[in-house]
Structure formats: structure tokens, C-alpha cells
Homo-oligomer: A and B are copies of this chain.
Amino acid sequence: MSVRTLPLTDVTVCSAPLVRDPMGPDRATDLARAFKALGDPARLRLLSLIGAHHGGSACVCDLTEPLGLSQPTVSHHLRVLREAGLVTSERRGTWVHYTLVPGALGALAVVLADEAG
């Protein structure tokens, strides 16, 4: 390829070549939803608490007191985590158990590791 076929590189213009494709808008919106769910201390502690229980599953009654938040607030955060696809809820008689969705956090970890290059 002769140099005449290269695009004009005006030295007065600031531009650098892309070495890979940037993230598209749709994927960014999806991922942002998940990361937004992680963007609150209470929700990070909830995820950690759930995961720290045997089987990666915990009853709501074991999640409210350690956080020092009211029961409606904890319920709200659990709802956010559920709608983000990070946990699932299941009724077992009187109590409701929340469980980490297998691979959900791992998938986000892979995204970050990829973007880190």
C-alpha cells in the first residue's frame, strides 16, 4: 500500500487509532443496569451476606439485622438485586430465601477483565 492511500493525518487534529471496537449503546445500557445495582453499599453487603451463607442462599430474616436498615429498605434493595438478575427469591413456607444467580457476578467480572485489556 502506498502512502498516498492512507487517510490524511492532519497534525493539527488530535486523533488516535482504535485498536478494537468500543462498546455499543445497547450493551452499555444492559451492563449499566447491572453495575448500578452494585453501586450501593447496602446491596454489596447483601450480596456478600447471601454468598457467605451455606449454599449461597439466605433467609431475609438473616439479612435485615446485620445491615442496620429498616425491613422495607432491605426489601427494596433485594428487589433491585432481583430485577438486575443477580439473585432469585423463593418462598419456603413462612420465610423467603434469596440465592445468588450462578454466573451472574462472574459474567460481570469477565466484562471488567476484558475492558481492562
Interface residues of A (CB under 8 A from B): 13-23, 25, 28-29, 31-33, 35-45, 47-49, 51-59, 61-62, 66, 94-95, 100, 103-106, 108-113, 115-117
With contacts A21-B52, A28-B42, A32-B44 known, what are 13 further pairs, Cβ within 8 A? A15-B59, A15-B62, A18-B54, A19-B53, A22-B48, A22-B66, A28-B48, A32-B41, A32-B43, A33-B39, A35-B38, A35-B44, A38-B38
Tell me if A62 and B117 are in contact (CB < 8 A). Answer: no
Pick 15 A–B contacts, CB within 8 A, sort by A. Answer: A13-B61, A16-B62, A17-B54, A18-B52, A19-B52, A19-B53, A23-B48, A28-B41, A28-B42, A32-B40, A47-B115, A51-B115, A51-B117, A56-B117, A100-B116
Shortest Cβ distance from A17 into chain B, in angstroms? 5
Please give, as numbers and ranges, the residues of chain B lying within 8 Å of A29 by CB-CB distance.
41
- Please report whether the interface of chain A is mostly helix, strand, loop or mixed according to DSSP: helix
What is the bound-complex CA distance between A47 and B54, given in angstroms?
36
